[in-house]
Amino acid sequence: MFNQGDILIVPFPFSDLTSVRQRPVLVLSKKEYNEKCEDIVTCGITSNLKDSKYSVLIDNPDLIEGNIPVKSRIKTDRLFTLEQSIIIKKMGMVNKGTFSKVRKEFINLI
């Protein structure tokens, strides 16, 4: 089961839909929701470090579990509802302080 704050690897299609690529996402939905539903609510993570509104910069010190290969940005304006069965693997988990920053940016968005 997946928890809020988990970083997961999922298959994402290229824009022309001819193939897929593995991409990281951050789980936003709570564990209680994830246990009862087939889907999870996530937001995208990118290695493009260009400063963008509604995003949070992360690096390995921001994780309490696992690691990421490069500094990245959590993009709270890139939401995805995904079926849990497509999850390839869990990559890590952000710490509470980082998730609080993500929550704040998401609230600023809405």
What pLDDT sits at residue 85? 96
According to DSSP, the β-strands at 20-27 and 39-46 are antiparallel
- Around Cβ 83, how many Cβ atoms within 10 Å? 11
- State residue 19's pLDDT score: 85
- Structure pTM? 0.94
Average of per-residue pLDDT values in the chain: 95
Q: Which domains does the chain have, with CATH numbers?
A: 6-99 (2.30.30.110)
Give residue-wise pLDDT tens across range 17-38. 788 899 999 999 999 999 999 9
Rg (CA), the chain: 13
